[in-house]
Amino acid sequence: MFDSMAAGLPRSTDVFVIGGGPAGLAAAIAARRRGFDVTLADCSVPPIDKACGEGIMPDGVAAARSLGIDLDDSCGLPFRGIRFCEGGESVGASFPRGHGLGLRRTALHQLMASHAIDAGVRLVWGVNVTGIGGEGVSADGRLVRARWIVGADGGNSPVRRWAGLDECERNSRRYGFRRHYLVEPWSEFMEIHWGDGCQLYITPVAAGEICVVLISRDPRLRLDDALPRFPYVAERLSRAPASRERGGVSASRRLKSVCRGRVALAGDASGSVDAITGEGLCLLFQHAVSLARALEAGDLALYQAEHRRIGRRPGFMADLMLLLDRRGRGAHWIRRRAIGAMASEPRLFARMLAMHVGELAPFDFVANGLSLGWHMLTL
């Protein structure tokens, strides 16, 4: 499909997007909807996969819709909320509005590439981009003149380095490993199972399939080693056929700047929050809309300000949730008490989830946090 519809490199373009994953496709679609001539290039050839949790939060589904992409028309499987599990304790809540969606990364990529083609984006696959300069982009040994250049080439972005935008205010990482299991989903929720220094994220992605991701600070820890720490999950998966394990990095990175001159960064190239939030796709959709507005106004400073605003709530939620990501008996006690307190007062978890998906303001965390602390002390 993609080979037959891909275009060649033009001599010039309004917007040259480097990176053909969801972030690049979203940026290209948003710019094209504003009337720009858009070229997107990537060294890979679809389908393009990535090790991720494959769960899209309700605010992500809504953000995609603002680009004209209705993810509910995809082959994904809806889930109605989030559940935390720690040992024998669990607490869950439904989203205050809408639903999440479990969607295979390859299916998402195909859907977005099709939308980009329909929008009139010029897609060029299998292209080697070797640099950027004052006039445009060097690709496959030739210069493509571009008014604007968008780096959407992932967490290890060469564009970020070429543009001199590597300087960070914050940079930390954890490691994720993913498998798909052919087993009937046992819950309508996305589940996060907490262990000693690691978590399992379980997302239903089809009627007979789930996505399981292990995330920890240990690059050597794999699913086969970690599953015995989660007996309930291990039993559920013991006889299920599994895919090959695929790994990646979950980074928490905030850059000092996401644009310089006529170069802007989007998606993970522009910084990221830990995968614990499940907000990666929502962020890249929001980046795309904001960036397209700034390009239309001819002022990337607008994007810089909006990018920082967009990342504030997910960053706060990542910091909050990672307080539970500790090892040792003390950390185990805190997790058990926190989840037990929320299980005894489910409204606490429901309010935290509402804040997580943008339906409750962060300052409400103060009241929520005080209530949670009290319940932890009085259990």
Phi, psi of 236 (to 5 degrees): -60, -35
Looking up tokens 């980046």 gives 287
- Tokens of residue 322, six digits: 């990672």
Per-residue pLDDT, 48: 85
Q: Please answer whether residues 249 and 294 qualify as being in contact, where contact means their C-beta atoms are separated by less than 8 angstroms.
A: no
Per-residue pLDDT, 3: 42
Q: Please answer whether residues 78 and 162 qualify as being in contact, where contact means their C-beta atoms are separated by less than 8 angstroms.
A: no
Per-residue pLDDT, 367: 52
Per-residue pLDDT, 72: 87
Crossing angle of helices 346-356 and 300-322, in 10° steps, is: 160
Per-residue pLDDT, 210: 97
HEC-encoded secondary structure of the chain: CHHHHCCCCCCEEEEEEECCCHHHHHHHHHHHHCCCCEEEEECCCCCCCCCCCCEECHHHHHHHHCCCCCHHHCCCEEECEEEEEECCEEEEEECCCCCEEECCHHHHHHHHHHHHHHHCCEEEECCCEEEECCCEEEECCEEEEEEEEEECCCCCCHHHHHCCCCCEEEEEEEEEEEEEECCCCCCCEEEEEECCCEEEEEEEEECCEEEEEEEECCCCCCHHHHHHHCHHHHHHHCCCCECCCEEEEEEEEEECCCEECCEEECHHHHEECCHHHCCHHHHHHHHHHHHHHHHHHCCHHHHHHHHHHHHHHHHHHHHHHHCCCCCCHHHHHHHHHHHHHHHHCHHHHHHHHHHHCCCCCCCHHHHHHHHHHHHHHHC
Q: End-to-end CA distance of the chain: give it in Å, rounded.
A: 58
Q: Kindly give the parts of the chain with pLDDT less than 70.
A: 1-7, 326-332, 361-379
User: CB atoms < 10 A from the CB of 304, how many?
Assistant: 18
Per-residue pLDDT, 118: 97
Whether the model pTM is above 0.75: yes
